[in-house]
Amino acid sequence: MRYAGNWMTAVDDRILEYLSEHESGSPTKMKREGPIRYSRQQVHRRCKILAEKGLINDLGNGVYMITEDGEAYLEGRLDTEDWQYIDEETDDDARDGSPGNIATDS
């Protein structure tokens, strides 16, 4: 499950997915080769926003590459609303004496 911030749109996910599958890409290339049903201008605008937010890098000349934060978002490990990484273990797991999380009184 992905944790999209209120600022994100559906095209953002498509852009990130494209860049995750390809090493890099431009809005024109994404529109031509990817499953992106938005105008090149809209893709370009969203790429600028994604770059400002740190989910992709602007390599210059209209070419972009996904960042580690972008990959983490796609994998459901980053909440882009409050920029918090999602831990797979909750605090309750650490306190309940689950195997590997034995609670001890000191």
Mean pLDDT (whole number) for 8-30: 95
- Give the domains, in start order, of the chain with CATH numbers: 1-72 (1.10.10.10)
Q: Nearest-CA neighbor of 18 among 36, 4, 1, 5?
A: 36
Please state the pTM of the whole predicted model. 0.80
- In tens, the pLDDT along 31-57 reads 998 778 899 999 999 999 999 999 999
Q: Is the pLDDT of residue 92 over 60?
A: no
Q: What is the mean pLDDT of the chain?
A: 86
